[in-house]
Chain A
């Protein structure tokens, strides 16, 4: 089905979406989206939403299952505390993407803002992934406790001299991994992190997501692999283990 969101307040729009989902609708196209917040919040079935326009803050927060395809840029907070599902953004995205995310996948073709993927976590069953086609701002993967961020820097709209990732990369990180296409400056890394060149087994881990990124945005995987990949990982799961006087 299709919903024309022109001039509709987020609260009414989301009610219409929830209603359609409860009626068993599998696929909804949202036209003329212009900043409506909370699209797809808390929905826990495997529906597909196509968003035409620019969705507002906190899209897909607490989401469990749906696939959201954004034909436009996205604002802050998408995939906030997301549990499962898939988000594809055909453009850029703002700050705090995937905060506390614990499952599902987010693909952004372009650049992203500050504090993306902070405090992502994983467990036995779930391993969240964020793939960024452009560059990222400061604090990427801060407090990261699990999951994976892949930063490609290929489809950026920034100048060449803008670094792949901002400062404080992975600061406080104590789980998970950040993969970058090309090296990052040592000085931008948070404390307690290691960095190694990706080879062999690591590629098996990231390859399915590179392939999916390629499929979504028409980038050849062989072109992605023309540059070396690096893996940033925490050297301890207990970064503050020795801080206290017991």
Chain B
């Protein structure tokens, strides 16, 4: 092992290299952007340095002779239920640097995952289940504000809807790709997301880093985001997609702003974000033109005016203690879609303490927001999108049964193109070529292959959702929305079931 400070030796991973299989071909050294594998010219051998390993498994995946295995370091401190290695190692790190702990992706603490404590219903005897392979099954979802009542005009002999709707967006699947900015991820991933969204008839979200000139052609499948830094926001941008999302908060870091380090601001990102090359891109914690619901209304309508009322306005908040009351204000402020991002939502960079300790689970926020909007009789005025830790199609179905119109997936989408959730997105050295703008690494993502994988994921989940709906005897996703009778809790206490608005299994 190479020399390093003693306390860094407690590496998180060990790299196991089988000397019988290793052919010293240097593939691992080329693949590892953290320099955990080093080729020694003098001996012609490849060595590993465990302390540099982030556990991304890139080398293991690419080793042509299967010589590498990445394992959790089994070296253990004295067993202690309080002072777990996580805390000890973090203190060493901070004692060394005096810095704020940084991390990527979503909350990784073992808080309860309520998706895993809810079970779905199925039809038996009294109402028939439906076979989606041979019978109609509708997943199409319309996002947007719905009128309080329908007025029918039948005067001229022809039956027609009077008054019309505000703009609506039709999506083929109740799954969208959540906001990930150009800068936090690179253009190749953005291209893959845009093309997959186009093929599948869904939407992707630009995130707050503006829209690269080459992606304007995917406008019908694009949500453009307007966050506090207002990067790359101008009238053409606002009109480029089908909706504008005002980002107030993010599940991974509620209450704090964003920070794309200057090293990541190259010429293309500078042009797209409209900031100088090499300068930090700082997103203030609040929008400084929004200090109240009334101010939020002002920005919503500023955007509606600037887009001639043709675009939907989404407002995204992190799921926090008062989400229900805030969401009510957001609907009354004129948002067409409310986005709730739970504390398991991912990020390119967040202070570790914030990611792991602030916010609430999306399941709880969703249930309370949907319930509150129903009680107030305004649930129809906005669609409800949820994000933050949707891992599989069953999570999607449970979210919709709890009251969501559709879900956003971010981490799941990145995993489909290779991410192994090593949580080092903030270093800009992503060996899988996702959360990096280094051209050498970024070309590891081929936009066409990314497109294919992302589209496959949506297709696969779509089939599974249809199967689950069919099993419940439901033939349209809209009939499931807020249908909490289709859910039962397992191992939940009374207050958890009250908040989720579901009964316990067996009841």
Closest residue on chain B to residue A101 by CB atoms: B230
- Kindly provide the distance from the CB of B133 to the nearest chain A CB, expressed in whole angstroms: 48
Q: A64 — which chain B residues lie within 8 A by C-beta?
A: 234-236
Q: Cβ of B289 and Cβ of A174 under 8 Å apart?
A: no
Q: Is the CB of A246 within 8 A of B302?
A: no
Say whether A83 faces chain B, with CB atoms less than 8 Å apart.
yes
Q: B166: which A residues are within 8 A, CB to CB?
A: none
Q: How far is the CB of B226 from chain A (nearest CB, A)?
A: 8
Given A175-B279, A238-B262, A245-B96, A37 and B301 contact (CB-CB distance below 8 Å): yes
Assembled-state Cα–Cα distance A67/B96 (Å): 55
- Whether the Cβ atoms of B234 and A143 lie closer than 8 Å is no
Contact among B93, B100, B259, B305 for A14, CB-based, below 8 A: B305
Q: Does A156 contact B (CB under 8 A)?
A: no
Complex-state Cα separation, A179 to B401, whole angstroms: 58
Q: Which residues of A contact B238 (CB under 8 A)?
A: 42, 62
Does A243 lie within 8 Å of B270, measured CB to CB?
Answer: no
Which residue of chain B lies nearest to A123 when distances are taken between CB atoms in the complex?
A: B274
Q: Which residues of B contact A143 (CB under 8 A)?
A: 282, 284
Contact B229 A119 (CB under 8 A): yes
B276 touches A146 (CB 8 A): yes
**Are A175 and B284 in contact (CB-based, < 8 A)?**
no
Question: When each residue 118-151 of chain A gets 1 if its CB lies under 8 Å from chain B and 0 otherwise, what string results?
Answer: 1101111010000000000000001101100000
Within 8 A of B (CB), among A209-223: none
| Contacting pair A42 B306 (CB below 8 A) | yes
Nearest CB in chain B: distance from A5 CB, A: 15
Query: In chain A between 195 and 246, which residues have their CB closer than 8 angstroms to a CB of chain B?
Result: 237-246
A100 near B229: Cβ-Cβ < 8 Å: yes
Contact status A145-B282, CB under 8 Å: yes
Q: In the complex, A174 Cα to B361 Cα: how many Å?
A: 36
A58 touches B (CB below 8 Å): yes
Q: Residue B288 at the A interface, CB < 8 A?
A: yes
CB distance from A78 to the nearest CB of B (A): 11
Chain A residue contacts of B102, Cβ below 8 A: 244-246
Is B360 located at the chain interface by the 8 A CB criterion? no
Interface hub of B96, B229, B280, B284 (most chain A Cβ within 10 A): B280
**Which residue of chain B has its CB nearest to the CB of A15?**
B308
Contacts of B229 in A (CB 8 A): 100, 119
* Chain A interface, DSSP helix/strand/loop, else mixed: loop
Check A96 for interface membership: any CB of B closer than 8 A.
Answer: yes
Flag if A61 contacts B270 (CB, 8 Å): no
Max count, chain B CB within 10 A of own CB: residue among A62, A146, A174:
A62
The 0/1 profile, CB within 8 Å of B marked 1, for residues 56-92 of chain A is 0110011110000000000011001101000000000
CB distance from B84 to the nearest CB of A (A): 18
Say yes or no: is B307 at the interface (Cβ < 8 Å to chain A): yes
Residues of B within 8 A of A246 (CB): 97, 99, 102, 426-427
Given A244-B99, A245-B97, A246-B102: A237 touches B262 (CB 8 Å cut-off): yes
Which chain A residue lies CB-closest to B238? A62
Q: Are B302 and A245 in contact (CB under 8 A)?
A: no
A123 touches B307 (CB 8 A): no
Instruction: Tell whether, in the assembled complex, residue A102 and residue B261 are in contact, meaning their CB atoms are under 8 Å apart.
Output: no
Residue B101 CB within 8 A of the other chain: yes
- Taking A41-B302, A43-B235, A102-B230 as known contacts, 15 extra A-B pairs with beta carbons closer than 8 A to each other, sorted by chain A number, are A38-B302, A44-B236, A76-B289, A77-B298, A77-B302, A83-B234, A96-B289, A118-B288, A119-B229, A124-B270, A175-B275, A237-B280, A238-B261, A240-B282, A244-B97
Could you tell me which B residues sit within 8 Å of A by CB distance?
93-94, 96-102, 226, 228-231, 233-236, 238-239, 259, 261-262, 270-271, 274-276, 278-282, 284, 288-289, 298-299, 301-303, 305-308, 426-427
